[in-house]
Amino acid sequence: MTRSLLALCAVLLAQPAAAALPRSADLTLDAANGLAGAAIAACRTQGRAIVVAIVDRGGNLVAVQRADGVGPHNTEASRRKAYTSLSTRSATLELARNTAAAPDVRNLATLPELLLLGGGVPLRAQGEVVGAIGVAGGGGAVNDHACALAAIAAHPEFEQARTN
Nearest to 124 by CA among 50, 24, 23: 24
* Tens-digit pLDDT profile for residues 100-147: 888 777 778 788 889 999 999 999 998 899 999 999 999 999 999 999
User: What local confidence, expressed as pLDDT, does residue 160 receive?
Assistant: 85
| DSSP code string of 123-153 | EEETTEEEEEEEEE-SSSHHHHHHHHHHHHH
- Which stretches within 2-154 are classed as H helix? 2-20, 29-44, 73-88, 92-101, 141-153
User: What local confidence, expressed as pLDDT, does residue 22 receive?
Assistant: 66
Q: How buried is 132 (Cβ within 10 angstroms: 0-12 exposed, 13-18 middle, 19+ buried)?
A: buried
Give the separation between CA 146 and CA 71, rounded to whole angstroms. Answer: 19
Rounded to whole angstroms, what are the CA distances from 127 to 24, 62, 69, 82, 124? Answer: 10, 21, 37, 19, 6
CATH code for residues 24-153: 3.30.450.150
Residues of the chain with pLDDT under 50: 164
User: What local confidence, expressed as pLDDT, does residue 26 receive?
Assistant: 87
Give the separation between CA 138 and CA 133, rounded to whole angstroms. Answer: 14
